[in-house]
């Protein structure tokens, strides 16, 4: 068998990171060093099955810690970096962007600079092979009206503190390629859904609130549109871009699946009505709910809420041969089933500091702004 390639994945304990680490190890092509600070968004249970795996090593630490990162390059001599570590929740960035600037901007710069210094020391052949893949978002392009799509050529126009910090990190990545010829690749992907997503994000939040009979807080009038992709499809695109993408290139990734928020919440409710009807859930039995949709509650809008995201993914399809494999109906049902089948993971994610945090910071979400 060919020798495995050592790679550093950052943020491997998060939602997309967990799915990506699993994909890389299943391919048997990689030895994975996962650098993750284990913030509130990481769940130690997500990758616990990998303990003792011969091709997996976990390092607890921050992408802002230059000394630690230098030591990882020195020790493991990776052939590339897949940079996913980030603060990723828009609502939190609106409350305070400090951590977003630190991790997304300073952290990405620190990873880039450490990687570039290491890359400079490599002999030509290894230098040619090395890749720095940066996982980014379609939010850097701002918001669309009713028509049109984001492409790789769309000008940057971030409109919330999270997307501003991701845009800043993308600009550093692009500048490192332009200035130093450092072999970077960026993927800008749309909204992911699937197993292991932290319950503050819309899809798991709606599933878990419904199952505990809590209101389902739809922001504004629910007409905002997101373009959803099953997380495994995104991870396959990231792996392909890392392996076959051209240095300096950017790939927009999406599955052409636009959904209005309120419609999506209704779809979640109808899946739940089928597989876990309220009458069969012990804590809801006495509530007299016929459908989870009765819990839908239109609340005050998110500040600066981007109206619509939608991706034209023809470049990644044409140049890398990628295409999404999981249809939305199947993916959404699999996701609902995953949350129902993993109560231990859910308890771990929903308890502790997150539980307290949500009580303290989300009062606005329980009622509409006074007219």
Give the pairing of strands 216-219 and 225-230.
Answer: unpaired
Q: Which of residues 91-110 bind ligand NAD (CB under 6 A)?
A: 103, 107
- Which tokens hold the place of 320? 């890398």
Q: Which of residues 29-48 bind ligand NAD (CB under 6 A)?
A: 35-39, 41-42
Q: Contact between 202 and ligand TDX (CB under 6 A)? A: yes
Q: Contact between 191 and ligand TDX (CB under 6 A)? A: yes
- Among candidate residues 87, 138, 200, 227, the one labeled active-site is 138
* Minimum separation from the CB atom of position 166 to ligand TDX (A): 7
Among the residue ranges 9-17, 111-119, 178-186, 239-247, the one whose residues contact ligand NAD (CB under 6 A): 9-17
- Name the helix (H) or strand (E) containing 185: strand 184-189
Q: Contact between 14 and ligand NAD (CB under 6 A)? A: yes
Q: Which of residues 118-147 bind ligand TDX (CB under 6 A)?
A: 137, 139
**Whole-number Å distance between alpha carbons of 149 and 210:** 32
* Minimum separation from the CB atom of position 254 to ligand NAD (A): 10
Cα distances from 142 to residues 155, 180, 186, 256, in angstroms, run 9, 28, 17, 18
The residues that bridge with 227 in the sheet, in sequence order, are 258
**Site track for ligand NAD across 147-186, x = CB under 6 A:** -------------------x--------------------
Nearer to ligand TDX, 62 or 197 (CB): 197
Among 22, 34, 110, 137, binds ligand NAD (CB under 6 A): 137
Q: Does the annotation mark 162 as catalytic? A: yes
CB-nearest residue to ligand TDX: 137
Residues 217 and 166: beta-carbon distance below 8 Å: no
The DSSP code for 101 is: I
Q: Does the annotation mark 139 as catalytic? A: yes
Our measurement of the distance from residue 312's CA atom to the centroid of its chain's CA atoms, rounded to an integer in Å, reads 19
Q: Please, which residues have CB within 8 angstroms of residue 202's CB and are 6 or more apart in sequence?
A: 226, 261, 264
Among the residue ranges 4-12, 126-134, 218-226, 337-345, the one whose residues contact ligand TDX (CB under 6 A): 218-226
Q: Contact between 218 and ligand TDX (CB under 6 A)? A: yes
**Whole-number Å distance between alpha carbons of 159 and 63:** 25
Strand order in the sheet with 184-189: 56-60, 30-36, 5-10, 80-83, 131-137, 184-189, 250-253
Question: Distance from first CA to last CA of the chain, Å, rounded?
Answer: 67
Q: Does the annotation mark 109 as catalytic? A: no
Q: Contact between 88 and ligand NAD (CB under 6 A)? A: yes
Q: Contact between 196 and ligand TDX (CB under 6 A)? A: no
**Site track for ligand TDX across 51-90, x = CB under 6 A:** -------------------------------------xxx
DSSP symbols for 323-367 = ---S-HHHHHHHHHHHHHH-HHHHHHHHSHHHHHHHHHH-GGGGS
For ligand TDX (CB under 6 A), the number of binding residues is: 16
Nearer to ligand TDX, 33 or 350 (CB): 350
- Among candidate residues 162, 219, 251, 339, the one labeled active-site is 162
DSSP symbols for 14-69 = SHHHHHHHHHHHHTT-EEEEEEE---TT--TTTTGGGTT-TTEEEEE--TT-HHHH
Q: How big is the chain by its Cα radius of gyration, in Å?
A: 21
Among 103, 188, 261, 335, binds ligand TDX (CB under 6 A): 261
User: Which residues are designated catalytic?
Assistant: 138-139, 162
Binding site for ligand NAD (CB under 6 A): 10-11, 13-17, 35-39, 41-42, 62-64, 84-88, 103, 107, 135-137, 166, 189, 191-192, 198
Binding site for ligand TDX (CB under 6 A): 88-90, 137, 139, 191, 201-202, 205, 217-219, 224, 226, 261, 302
């Amino acid at each position: 068998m060919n020798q495995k390639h050592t790679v550093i994945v950052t943020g491997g304990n998060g939602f997309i990171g967990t799915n990506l680490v699993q994909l890389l190890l299943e391919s048997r092509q990689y030895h994975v060093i996962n650098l993750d600070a284990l913030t509130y968004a990481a769940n130690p249970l997500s990758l616990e099955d990998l303990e003792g795996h011969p091709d997996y090593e976990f390092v607890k630490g921050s992408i802002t810690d230059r000394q630690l990162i230098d030591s990882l390059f020195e020790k493991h001599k990776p052939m590339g970096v897949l940079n996913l570590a980030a603060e990723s929740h828009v609502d939190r960035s609106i409350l305070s962007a400090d951590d977003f600037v630190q991790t997304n901007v300073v952290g990405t710069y620190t990873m880039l600079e450490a990687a570039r210094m290491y890359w400079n020391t490599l002999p030509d052949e290894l230098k040619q092979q090395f890749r720095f893949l940066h996982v980014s978002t379609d939010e850097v392009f701002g918001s669309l009206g009713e028509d049109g799509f984001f492409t790789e050529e769309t000008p940057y126009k971030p409109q919330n503190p999270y997307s501003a910090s991701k845009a800043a990190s993308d600009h550093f990545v692009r500048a490192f390629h332009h200035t130093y010829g450092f072999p970077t690749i960026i993927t800008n992907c749309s909204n992911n859904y699937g197993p292991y997503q932290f319950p503050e994000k819309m899809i798991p939040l709606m599933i878990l609130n419904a199952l505990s009979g809590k209101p389902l807080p739809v922001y504004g009038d629910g007409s905002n549109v997101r373009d959803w992709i099953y997380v495994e499809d995104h991870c396959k695109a990231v792996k392909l871009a890392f392996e076959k993408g051209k240095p300096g290139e950017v790939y927009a990734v999406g599955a052409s699946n636009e959904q209005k928020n309120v419609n999506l919440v209704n779809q979640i409710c109808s899946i739940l009505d089928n597989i876990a009807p309220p009458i069969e859930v012990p804590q809801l039995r006495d509530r007299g709910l016929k459908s989870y949709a009765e819990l839908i509650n239109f609340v005050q809008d998110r500040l600066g809420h981007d109206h619509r995201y939608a991706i034209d993914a023809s470049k990644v399809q044409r140049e890398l041969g990628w295409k999404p494999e999981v249809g939305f109906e199947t993916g959404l049902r699999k996701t609902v089933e995953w949350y129902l089948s993993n109560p231990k993971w859910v308890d771990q994610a929903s308890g502790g500091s997150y539980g307290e945090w949500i009580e303290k910071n989300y009062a606005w979400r329980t009622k509409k702004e006074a007219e």
